[in-house]
């Protein structure tokens, strides 16, 4: 069974996706008749070197999201997971050449189709007299033994886009004096990349990428590319769903990250990154497409802690989606060894929409936890009661807690009739929290302070909407009791609590919520405001009065 995708058609999904990006970005233009996106200010690049990249669609935001000043000049996109057509690559080269650029550098991920098609377009362009050079990026750190095809091009390619990007005007030959400053790290003065054309993220072994996935992805119109059992994850897979180096058991985020970093930095691994204690790196935490932002944050935290625990300095950290594999639920980690000159290239300004707004400061060494605010000092309370009244408060609270604990199952049963069946459990959790608090020491003698402390306790321990509503009620009820504690003040406290519950809970009397019972009692307590009111007589009546529409009332 094929997976569901929000597309207009399988055949046209790559065209539609690129058109949508360009339509929403005034800095981009489509090249007529081709699946090519270019900078809209192309004519301003006269005398500079153009940087073109691309590959199959399905890896968004790579590569078109990285077009802009300070990054790529243009991108050629193929169909999903398919190399771009030679004709479109050649058309892009011609377009930037006719705009007045002095040469073109093709940045190509190390996949057979990409090497062949970009290489053929390069040869055709050179036959037309257009200066073109090509570098092939291989940054995969998965394989422990050397493969004939070399390391696959993965998310580290994005960092190559960035460090090769700041172009200079021509003075002599385009491939030496006009070449982007960062290119000297890979290409050298002769315009050719050492290591048989592989460079940057792969050939110099200064960076590496490793991915892990919880499940497969699926090309539009097709079934998932592979299957994983519920307790397995794939380590070292490619961005098209290619097999990894092994399958490992599902584990915590900390454990998975530790396994990844161990594999990437193991010196016995031919594709390892020589990161050791004292090294300075750029860390890239990349969402392969289907991972939640919550999980991505957890992975980023684990990676930072694990690297710093190994004595590695994280100079910069990029967290987000940079090179995806459609909807694959997984991540890749990229490590790039950096020095100050390379870091300046990474930090250089760019208008590329997918490049993050990254702080140009080191992650390691900064203070990233701020001290918690101090609690305000409690003002002296003139309403504090004596020791006898304080003991009476304890007895009342203990009786309330014992009653709630005894009613746990009964309240759950009532709640199951129309709710989620946890009313008794929630109130028992509150009762146990109050009992534990009372054992720690004598509660405040002031009624206002007592209600405030109970409010904080329920907000922290009770949980759910009940904890929030009781917390609101008690916080508001405490306010009128700061000045007086006579019967009219207690009636006003009930009014204040009910008003707060209605204001923030958006419930009204008769809505069949917990407010109904409290509201009915509150109406009876209005009698406390009358001179000569009898405390216990009115209180007894308030306890016994039936709530509004009690037959339909439910716990929340």
156, 207 contact by CB (below 8 A):
yes
Question: Has 59 been annotated as catalytic?
Answer: no
> Which residue from 211, 262, 200 is spatially nearest to 240, judged by alpha carbons?
211
User: Residue 327 and residue 105: Cα distance in Å, rounded?
Assistant: 31
SS3 362: coil
Evaluate the CA torsion angle 542, 495, 480, 463 in order and state its sign. Answer: positive
User: Residue 197 and residue 145: Cα distance in Å, rounded?
Assistant: 20
> Which residue from 80, 94, 81, 82 is spatially nearest to 33, judged by alpha carbons?
94
Q: Point out which residues pair with 337 in neighbouring strands.
A: 281
Q: Measured in whole angstroms, how far is the alpha carbon of residue 538 from the centre of its chain?
A: 55
> Which residue from 495, 499, 455 is spatially nearest to 475, judged by alpha carbons?
455
Tell me the backbone φ, ψ of residue 551, rounded to 5 degrees: -65, -20
User: Residue 516 and residue 93: Cα distance in Å, rounded?
Assistant: 74
Q: Measured in whole angstroms, how far is the alpha carbon of residue 228 from the centre of its chain?
A: 24
Position 379 scores a pLDDT of 64
User: Residue 500 and residue 474: Cα distance in Å, rounded?
Assistant: 9
399-405: long-range contacts, CB 8 A cutoff, minimum separation 24: 400/431, 400/434, 401/431, 401/432, 401/434, 401/435, 402/431, 404/428, 404/430, 404/431, 405/431, 405/432
| Catalytic, out of 240, 263, 272, 427 | 240
15-21: long-range contacts, CB 8 A cutoff, minimum separation 24: 17/57, 17/60, 18/57, 18/64, 18/77, 21/60, 21/64, 21/65
Position 6 scores a pLDDT of 94
Position 266 scores a pLDDT of 94
Tell me the backbone φ, ψ of residue 532, rounded to 5 degrees: 75, 15
Q: Which two tokens stand for residue 448?
A: 């206002």
Q: Per residue in 368-392, is it b (16+ CB within 10 Å) or e — as a string?
A: eeeeeeeeeeeeebebbbeeeebee
Q: What angle do CA 287, 291, 296 make, to 5 degrees?
A: 65
Position 299 scores a pLDDT of 98
Give the residue ranges of the chain where pLDDT is below 50: 167-203, 549-556
DSSP character at residue 134:
E
Largest distance between two CA atoms of the chain: 107
Evaluate the CA torsion angle 3, 9, 14, 17 in order and state its sign. Answer: negative
Measure CA of the first residue to CA of the last residue in the chain; give whole Å. Answer: 42
Position 513 scores a pLDDT of 85
């Amino acid at each position: 069974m094929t997976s569901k995708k929000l597309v207009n058609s399988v055949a046209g999904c790559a065209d539609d996706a690129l058109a949508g990006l360009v339509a929403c970005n005034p800095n981009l233009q489509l090249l007529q008749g081709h699946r090519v996106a270019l900078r809209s200010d192309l004519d301003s690049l006269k005398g500079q070197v153009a940087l073109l990249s691309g590959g199959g669609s399905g890896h968004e935001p790579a590569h078109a999201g990285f077009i802009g000043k300070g990054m790529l000049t243009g991108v050629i996109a193929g169909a999903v997971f398919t190399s771009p057509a030679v004709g479109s690559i050649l058309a892009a080269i011609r377009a930037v050449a006719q705009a007045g650029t002095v040469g073109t550098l093709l940045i190509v991920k190390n996949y057979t189709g990409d090497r062949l098609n970009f290489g053929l377009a390069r040869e055709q362009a050179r036959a037309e007299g257009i200066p073109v050079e090509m570098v092939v990026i291989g940054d995969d750190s998965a394989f422990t033994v050397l493969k004939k095809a070399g390391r696959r091009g993965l998310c580290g390619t994005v960092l190559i886009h960035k460090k090769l990007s700041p172009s200079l005007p021509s003075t002599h030959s385009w491939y030496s004096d006009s070449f982007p400053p960062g290119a000297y790290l890979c290409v050298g003065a002769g315009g050719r990349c050492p290591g048989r054309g592989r460079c940057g993220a792969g050939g110099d072994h200064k960076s590496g990428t490793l991915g892990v996935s919880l499940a497969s992805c699926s090309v539009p119109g097709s079934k998932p590319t592979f299957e994983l059992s519920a307790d397995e994850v794939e380590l070292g897979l490619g961005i098209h769903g290619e097999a990894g180096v092994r399958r490992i058991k599902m584990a915590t985020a900390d454990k998975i990250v530790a396994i990844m970093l161990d594999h990437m930095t193991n010196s016995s691994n031919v594709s390892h990154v020589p990161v050791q204690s004292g090294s300075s790196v750029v860390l890239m935490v990349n969402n392969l497409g289907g991972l939640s932002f919550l999980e991505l944050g957890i992975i980023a935290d684990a990676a930072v802690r694990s690297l710093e625990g190994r004595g590695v300095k994280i100079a910069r950290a990029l967290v987000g989606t940079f090179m995806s594999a459609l909807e694959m639920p997984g991540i890749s980690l990229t490590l790039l060894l950096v020095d100050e000159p390379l870091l300046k290239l990474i930090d250089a300004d760019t208008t590329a929409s997918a490049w993050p707004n990254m702080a140009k400061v080191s992650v390691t060494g900064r203070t990233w936890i701020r001290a918690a605010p101090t609690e305000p000092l409690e003002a002296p309370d003139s309403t504090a009661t004596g020791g006898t009244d304080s003991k009476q408060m304890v007895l009342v609270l203990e009786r309330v807690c014992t009653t709630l604990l005894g009613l746990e199952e009964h309240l759950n049963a009532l709640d199951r009739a129309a709710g989620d069946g946890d009313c008794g459990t929630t109130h028992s959790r509150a009762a146990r929290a109050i009992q534990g608090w009372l054992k720690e020491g004598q509660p405040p003698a002031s009624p206002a302070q007592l209600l405030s402390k109970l409010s904080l306790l329920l907000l922290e321990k009770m949980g759910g909407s009940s904890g929030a509503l009781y917390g609101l009620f008690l916080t508001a009820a405490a306010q009128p009791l700061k000045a007086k504690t006579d019967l009219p003040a207690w009636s006003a406290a009930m009014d204040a609590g009910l008003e707060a519950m209605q204001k923030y809970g958006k419930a009204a009397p008769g809505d069949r919520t917990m407010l109904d019972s409290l509201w009915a009692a509150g109406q009876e307590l209005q009698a406390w405001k009358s001179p000569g009111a009898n405390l216990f007589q009115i209180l007894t009546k308030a306890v016994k009065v039936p709530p509004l529409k009690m037959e339909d009332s439910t716990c929340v």
